[in-house]
């Protein structure tokens, strides 16, 4: 794919309904490994994400009507993946598959406080990387958090994702604590530890 030399990139809070499936594909491309243990079947996983995303908790990057970047976040009022609760999982996957998925995904749940915007994930389409879109999405999240009167941006980075950690450190995030997983969780989730990073909005 060749990116037009003068491509216009626009950023929006929320996501057009017509792009929910594209958002699910993009999210799965970046974070599918994180939830594969919960929902191994990719077709089911994409459908589940497309149906349950709460797009009020997303910022997207569009060019020519195409989704090229997505950032999901969580506040006390909800999150992009807020729809992945037990009832929805069992509705889409059946009782036992839904119960299993709920157990796995519950380990990713983020305890949020009133003054924090927690970033669930930022993903940029592979063909559009290296153009500053990830940083622009971070800027959008920071501006939204400031507008809402929140004091901190927060996120978790798994120990294997050193590239993402470097990006956040360059932006000004500081590591505050590292959580090491028990052996059985390491086996299930595919990583050994995760580090919480924060950016004060002062």
CATH of the domain at 159: 3.40.630.30
Question: pTM for the whole thing?
Answer: 0.85
Q: Flag whether 44 is in a domain.
A: yes
177 belongs to a structural domain = yes
Residue 2 located in a structural domain:
no
**3, pLDDT greater than 60:** yes
Is the predicted pLDDT of residue 161 greater than 60, yes or no? yes
Q: Indicate the burial class of 176 (C-beta count within 10 angstroms; 0-12, 13-18, 19 or more).
A: exposed
What span, in angstroms and rounded, lies between the C-alpha atoms of 94 and 160?
A: 33
The answer to the question of residue 3 being in a domain is no
- Pairing state of beta strands 152-158 and 193-200? antiparallel
The predicted model gives 41-58 an average pLDDT of 91
Q: Tens digits of per-residue pLDDT, 53-100?
A: 999 999 999 999 999 999 999 999 999 988 777 777 788 778 787 777
Which two tokens mark 187? 């086996």
* Whole-number pLDDT of residue 39: 80
Spatial separation of the C-alpha atoms in residues 193 and 148, rounded to whole Å: 31
Note the pLDDT of residue 146. Answer: 96
Strands (E), the chain: 10-13, 58-63, 66-75, 78-79, 116-124, 152-158, 174-180, 193-200
Query: What proportion of the chain, given as a percentage, has pLDDT over 70?
Result: 84
Which range marks the domain in which residue 136 is found? Answer: 10-200
Number of separate domains in the chain? 1
pLDDT of residue 153: 96
Q: Is residue 15 part of a domain?
A: yes
């Amino acid at each position: 794919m060749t990116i037009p030399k003068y491509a216009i990139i626009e950023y929006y809070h929320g996501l057009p309904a017509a792009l929910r499936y594209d958002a699910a594909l993009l999210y799965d491309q970046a974070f599918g490994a994180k939830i594969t243990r919960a929902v191994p079947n990719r077709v089911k996983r994409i459908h589940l994400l497309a149906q349950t995303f709460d797009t009020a908790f997303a910022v997207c990057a569009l060019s020519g009507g195409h989704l090229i970047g997505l950032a999901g976040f969580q506040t006390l009022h909800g999150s992009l993946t807020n729809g992945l609760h037990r009832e929805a999982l069992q509705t889409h996957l059946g009782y036992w598959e839904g119960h299993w998925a709920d157990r796995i995904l519950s380990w990713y749940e983020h305890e949020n406080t009133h003054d924090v915007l927690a970033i669930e994930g930022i993903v940029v389409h592979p063909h559009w990387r290296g153009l500053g879109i990830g940083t622009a999405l971070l800027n959008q999240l920071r501006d939204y958090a400031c507008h809402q009167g929140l004091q901190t941006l927060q996120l978790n980075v798994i120990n294997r994702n050193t590239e993402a950690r470097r990006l956040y450190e360059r932006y000004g995030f500081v590591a505050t604590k590292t959580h090491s997983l028990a052996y059985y969780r390491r086996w299930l989730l595919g990583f050994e530890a995760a580090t919480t990073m924060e950016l004060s909005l002062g």
